[in-house]
Structure 1
């Protein structure tokens, strides 16, 4: 049912996973630009760093870090869902009203997350995120999956793909 506000620790890195209600859907890759926009809108409203992300047809995984002094991780995710949902008119007809009065018709109520304990844990989860399309049999090599942050090149780092 989402993340309790008190489970977010400022300045910490988190692994997260979110699924669409329809496990057969491919909306997330069909509308990857809309999802990217939803993340950018949330980052503008409440900055956070995306350490890694992979978007699969019906779910996504990521690692993100909140700024120190900020505990609004849950609100960021609600905003991402809402912005994405609003960009897809008519999808789907059934809406679910939550206690916070938000309506998230596309997303499964469960949003999995946990705080990462140290730099090694962050790196292990980033590798897990990037390798997810291989685990699901979508590609043979993680670099073949276009909806992944594995393709980002950071200053001073060698390209991963």
Structure 2
């Protein structure tokens, strides 16, 4: 089995994708949103990080997180977020997907896909391109016609701050062309 290595860069900024187990569409439900919001808040108390951009879709989420200058343990934060959601809300989610023997052996539930995808942000243009990708993602998935129509996105907060114009994303975004995650 491969030994996956994460960057671990102290103070790094990371683009992250986390998918639900068997792509079950529970994340945008009331209980799913509450569970994830609670887990993020809980983990940030003991292991701080900034959430620079975020979008929640029915079966996955994308985000950009910046870690503190003295810490590079992204994996611990993701593991804890997933654990809090599973431990405190897993039963309430009422998920019906069976757990494989491999997952049972590892004491994993039927809430999250085992691993997450991560990319270390290289520079300002990489940061901007990944934020654009995040905010345009609901349109790519056919969930809405414009990014502003999707309620579960940091685009609204960033528009109020003046980072994005109110009509951003009305046309295809050129910076999205080079980002190909291969997992959607």
Give the TM interval when normalised to the shorter protein: 0.7 to 0.9
Q: Look at both structures and tell me which one has the larger radius of gyration over its CA atoms.
A: 2
Corresponding position of 1:12: 12
* Cα gap change, 1:132 to 1:71, in 2 (>3 Å): same
Flag structure 2 segments of 5+ consecutive residues without an equivalent. Answer: 167-184
- Using structure 1 for the length normalisation, give the TM-score: 0.86
Instruction: Report the TM-score, using the length of structure 2 for normalisation.
Output: 0.76
Higher percent of residues as helix: 2
Q: CA deviation at 1:160?
A: 4.4
More strand by share: 1
CA distance in 1, matches of 2:84, 2:5: 20
Is it true that 1:129 corresponds to 2:131 in the alignment? no
State the Cα distance separating 1:71 from its structure 2 match. Answer: 1.7
- Cα deviation per residue 1:70-118 (whole Å; 9 max; x = unaligned)? 02210100011111112131545527258xx663431112311010101
What secondary structure sits across from 1:52 in the alignment?
Answer: strand
The answer to whether structure 1 residue 119 and structure 2 residue 120 are counterparts is no
Q: 5+ residue gaps in structure 1?
A: none
Alignment-derived partner of residue 110 in structure 2: 105
Contact 1:85 1:91 in 2 (8 A): no
Deviation at 1:50, TM superposition (A): 0.5
Deviates most, 116-125 or 147-156:
147-156
Counterpart of 1:81 in structure 2 is 82
Q: State how far apart, in whole Å, the 1-side matches of 2:155 and 2:115 are.
A: 26
1:126 match: secondary structure: helix
Instruction: Single out whichever of 6-15 and 70-79 deviates more from structure 2.
Output: 6-15
Q: Which of the pair has the greater relative contact order for Cα pairs under 8 Å at 6+ separation? A: 1
Which residue does 1:32 correspond to in 2? 33
Out of 104-113 and 79-88, give the one that drifted further.
Answer: 104-113
Q: 1:39 to 1:4 in 2, by over 3 A?
A: farther
The reply to whether residue 44 of structure 1 matches residue 45 of structure 2 is: yes
RMSD of aligned Cα (Å) = 2.5
Corresponding residue pairs, total: 157
